[in-house]
């Protein structure tokens, strides 16, 4: 019982610590909660209301990471919120179902205009679903969030090299721990992009240091 209460206190302390890592402009409408369910994602976020977003964390797995790794993965999710790229409950599946049902019905009654409208609804909702689940688009958004996470880390006192190092080591852990091939390849792609970004940042820093001081 004592052990369970100690774990609960530690989890609560971690949630409070992460809350303090939110930029001030997000603290009033971003909630941080433990993840529920079996095989939950390590960390993810979703819109739960018109002006409310929830970040969910699998605290048992989260605790196995170093603090700096946790911080950068957390800021990655914060960056997704700031970039407005978190998933929302869409109308597309409902529209697709309505369109399919309508198309079948109109085939039966042979109403050409309504059949055309139903097929058009199916096509449009299907296109929107494809856009939402496009792998290249999702990867691009994740890489952009990584870049913004680095910027957030420097805002909270990290040096640029340490921010890159912490996020890079966190992504390596995710690559090693992810059994699914598609998701693992996405982490690997993010890690490659991060290494390229770090190399460019290092080159810019070196150029700045080598520039002669102007009088």
Give 10-53 pLDDT, tens digit per residue. 899 999 999 999 999 999 999 999 998 778 899 999 888 778 99
Q: Please tell me whether residues 182 and 198 are part of one structural domain.
A: yes
Cα(50)–Cα(203) distance, integer angstroms: 43
Count CB atoms within 10 A of the CB of residue 160: 16
Q: Please tell me whether residues 14 and 58 are part of one structural domain.
A: yes
Could you tell me the residue range of the domain that residue 82 belongs to? 2-88+134-203
Q: Please tell me whether residues 158 and 124 are part of one structural domain.
A: no
| pLDDT, mean over the chain | 81
Residue 31: name the closest of 77, 62, 68, 70 by CA. 77
What are the percentages of helix, strand and coil residues in the chain, rounded to 5? 70, 10, 20
Q: Please tell me whether residues 127 and 141 are part of one structural domain.
A: no
Q: Report phi then psi at 53, rounded to 5.
A: -125, 140
State the Rg of the chain over Cα.
22
Residue identified by tokens 């409950």 is 89
Q: Please tell me whether residues 11 and 49 are part of one structural domain.
A: yes
List, in sequence order, every residue forming a beta bridge with 47; answer none if it has no partner: 53
46-73, pLDDT tens digit by residue?
A: 888 778 999 999 999 999 999 999 999 9
Q: Which tokens hold the place of 25?
A: 């402009």
Cα(194)–Cα(139) distance, integer angstroms: 12
Per the domain annotation, does 208 fall within a domain? no
Looking at residue 212, what is its pLDDT?
53
Per the domain annotation, does 211 fall within a domain? no
Cα(153)–Cα(68) distance, integer angstroms: 10
Per the domain annotation, does 48 fall within a domain? yes
Reduced to 3 states, what is the DSSP secondary structure of residue 184? Answer: helix
Q: Please tell me whether residues 156 and 190 are part of one structural domain.
A: yes
Number of separate domains in the chain: 2
Residue 34: name the closest of 6, 54, 64 by CA. 54
Q: Please tell me whether residues 70 and 153 are part of one structural domain.
A: yes
Q: Which pLDDT band, with edges at 50, 70 and 90, does 104 fall under? A: very low
Q: Which pLDDT band, with edges at 50, 70 and 90, does 130 fall under? A: very low
Q: Please tell me whether residues 138 and 125 are part of one structural domain.
A: no
The Cβ-side half-sphere exposure at 211, using a 13 Å CA radius, reads: 8
pLDDT of 101 above 80: no
Q: Please tell me whether residues 128 and 173 are part of one structural domain.
A: no
What percent of the chain has pLDDT above 70? 73
Q: Please tell me whether residues 80 and 146 are part of one structural domain.
A: yes
Q: Please tell me whether residues 98 and 141 are part of one structural domain.
A: no
Per the domain annotation, does 215 fall within a domain? no
Q: Please tell me whether residues 114 and 170 are part of one structural domain.
A: no
């Amino acid at each position: 019982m004592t052990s369970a209460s100690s774990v609960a206190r530690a989890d609560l302390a971690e949630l409070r610590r992460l809350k303090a890592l939110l930029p001030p402009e997000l603290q009033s409408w971003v909630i941080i909660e433990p993840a529920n369910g079996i095989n939950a994602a390590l960390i993810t976020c979703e819109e739960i209301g018109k002006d409310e977003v929830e970040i969910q964390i699998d605290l048992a797995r989260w605790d196995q990471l170093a603090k700096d790794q946790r911080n950068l993965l957390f800021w990655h999710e914060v960056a997704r919120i700031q970039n407005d790229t978190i998933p929302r409950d869409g109308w597309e599946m409902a529209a697709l179902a309505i369109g399919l049902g309508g198309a079948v019905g109109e085939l039966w009654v042979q109403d050409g205009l309504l059949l055309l409208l139903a097929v058009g609804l199916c096509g449009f909702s299907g296109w929107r679903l494809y856009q939402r689940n496009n792998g290249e688009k999702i990867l691009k958004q994740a890489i952009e969030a990584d870049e913004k996470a680095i910027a957030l880390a420097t805002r909270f006192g990290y040096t640029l090299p340490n921010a890159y190092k912490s996020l890079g080591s966190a992504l390596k852990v995710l690559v090693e721990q992810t059994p699914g091939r598609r998701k693992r390849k996405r982490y690997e792609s993010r890690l490659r992009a991060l290494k390229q970004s770090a190399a460019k940042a290092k080159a810019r820093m070196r150029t700045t240091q080598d520039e002669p001081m102007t009088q």
